[in-house]
Copies of this chain bind each other. A is one copy, B any other.
């Protein structure tokens, strides 16, 4: 049973994967050479993953059989376990609970050799809609308080399989960064009566220097205090606190905006590894005025990797204004 443990000083929860615990010798040398050619995410290999939770399928095809366009399965090596009680308890000054949660994989396409950005925009809509479907379903489980949607692309970004996929981790606690964002945006709201993200969007559109893409419903920009070179955020222009309340009408534009932004990053930086993470409001909150869901895209540029990793202190060698200008001028259509 994995454990969730709380840092007693700063209150950060960490998943300690006690069962699939690696041995120290697993870290002693890094395997090199080509990865295995077998892919459990390819069409025809449906029995090589745990049984599917959901799929968008062609008419007349059955579960765990070919004929799907998108498939959601439990992670075969989950960081958290879906069955059981939280069993919260203390250990002296420390706090822990069972590592209960969901860890699912969204296999974005049956085609092995396509990247997310090579999929047609209509197909990316399916991916975004699948995120929504899974979040809406998982939030019904009262043990869970937060759903984190993320995508790792490339080995440097932590992707262990090449076949394009995203992940959802659903947790019984709120990750520290999100808790900090909730608290910070609440403080701003209490003081000024406005959503800080809405203010940010207004100022970015006025200034213009950090804008990457300006659409009807969504805007992509480099944040003012970007931690990483080419860090890019996508936000809905209309205030919305929960990703899972996404409306059908705007998915088309979100898919276009995400695809175009990623294509620009891929072209400008020569196909870097990257992560994106959807930041959204914890399940327990109803629609709220002070927090605004958004997607944070972080290219993983190895030259920058430094001591930031463990300190929360960042040095960004590329001003976001330069990055935004470069991305604006990168033509991808």
Contacts and interface: CB of A to CB of B under 8 A. Distances in A.
Interface of A: 3, 5-18, 20-24, 26-30, 79, 91-94, 148, 150, 152, 156-158, 175-177, 180-181, 183-185, 188, 196-197, 199-200, 203, 206-207, 223-231, 268-270, 272, 275, 277, 296, 298-307, 309-320, 322-323, 326
A14 B316 contact: yes
Given A9-B196, A16-B320, A24-B268, 18 more contacts: A5-B225, A10-B181, A13-B225, A17-B316, A18-B319, A22-B303, A24-B318, A27-B318, A30-B302, A92-B203, A93-B199, A93-B203, A94-B203, A150-B307, A150-B311, A152-B306, A157-B305, A231-B310
B24 A323 contact: yes
A229 B307 contact: no
Nearest to A265: B24
Contacts of A20: 317
Interface of A, secondary structure class, is mixed
Given A13-B225, A311-B175, A313-B175, A270 B21 contact: no
B10 A184 contact: yes
Residue from the set A156, A275, A306, A309 with the largest chain B CB neighbour count within 10 Å: A309
Contact of A313 (B177, B196, B203, B306): B177
A303 B26 CA distance: 9
A210 B22 CA distance: 17
A193 to B, nearest CB: 14
Contact of A21 (B3, B206, B226, B318): B318
A317 to B, nearest CB: 5
6 contacts: A8-B184, A9-B180, A10-B183, A22-B303, A158-B305, A231-B310
Contacts of A24: 229-230, 268-269, 318, 322-323, 326
